[in-house]
Amino acid sequence: QVQLVESGGGVVQPGRSLRLSCAASGFTFTTFAMHWVRQAPGKGLEWVAVISGDGRDKYYTDSVKGRFTISRDNSKNTLYLQMNNLRAEDTAVYYCAKDGSGYGSFEFWGQGALVTVSS
Amino acid sequence: EIVLTQSPGTLSLSPGERVTLSCRASQSVSSTFLAWYQQKPGQAPRLLIHGASTRATGIPDRFSGSGSGTDFTLTISRLEPEDFAVYYCQQYGNSPMYSFGQGTKLELK
């Protein structure tokens, strides 16, 4: 069965960096685009970034462009999110999600990693 | 950017009732790219419906989706205790861009 396990969350000061990882299993990783979606405490869902199966194409929501980088290592079945110059408003649970190919949806989700940006 | 508005914000209902949740888009959305999710407290969202009306794998048939253009609905034919949760609609558009509604909370009456 599909499993997505995030790691790397924690407390970080504003302006610092953090890298999230998402280990995938139970499906052919290289075949699917992967996403990061976040949820601020008590708030709704916000899409953050997507990367194609081969890693060539990457897209971001405007608020993280130039600060966040999505990447993947298909040899390790792992998705990453490098977050630089973090701001208080980046505080959220970050979910990795498997693309629902052809439907623009998020078919499976990890359990999430909490990132808290605070001085 | 397409904005999705869900209504109502909160619904208080009892098990066994039928409920219809609304999702309205600020401009036309392709039905292929409209999805619904369920999220329970402390859990990740779960895909319920994609393509506006197709249930995801393992989703009970009491959940159904419909709609086109700017108006979409999620119907739960008979509420079970485990259905009390927050429900989000989501669309995919050009750029690419993905956006969610603000959510509708179903709470136990």
Å from B17 to nearest chain A CA?
26
Q: What percent of chain B has pLDDT over 90?
A: 94
| Residue among B32, B96, B103 whose CB faces A103 most closely | B32
Question: Using the beta-carbon criterion (under 8 Å), do B90 and A106 form an inter-chain contact?
Answer: yes
Q: Is 90 exceeded by the pLDDT of residue B1? A: no
What integer pLDDT is reported at residue B89 of this predicted model?
98
What confidence tier does A60 reach under pLDDT thresholds 50, 70, 90?
A: very high
Question: Using the beta-carbon criterion (under 8 Å), do B91 and A35 form an inter-chain contact?
Answer: no
Instruction: Give the other-Cβ count within 10 Å of A69's Cβ.
Output: 16
What integer pLDDT is reported at residue A101 of this predicted model?
81
Give CA–CA dist A114/A90, Å, rounded: 10
Report chain B residues whose CB lies below 8 A from the CB of A110.
44
Average pLDDT taken over every residue of chain B: 96
Question: Using the beta-carbon criterion (under 8 Å), do A104 and B88 form an inter-chain contact?
Answer: no
Q: Which two tokens stand for residue A54?
A: 């081969």
Q: Where do we find the tokens 């000061």?
A: A13
| Residue among B44, B92, B98 whose CB faces A110 most closely | B44
Give CA–CA dist A23/A57, Å, rounded: 20
Chain B segment 40-69 residues within 8 A of A by beta carbon are 43-47, 50-51, 56
- State mean pLDDT over A51-57: 96
C-beta separation of B16 from B78 below 8 A: yes
Q: Is 80 exceeded by the pLDDT of residue B95? A: no
Residue of A nearest to B37 (CA): A106
* A114 shares contact with chain B (CB less than 8 Å): no
C-beta separation of A21 from A10 below 8 A: no
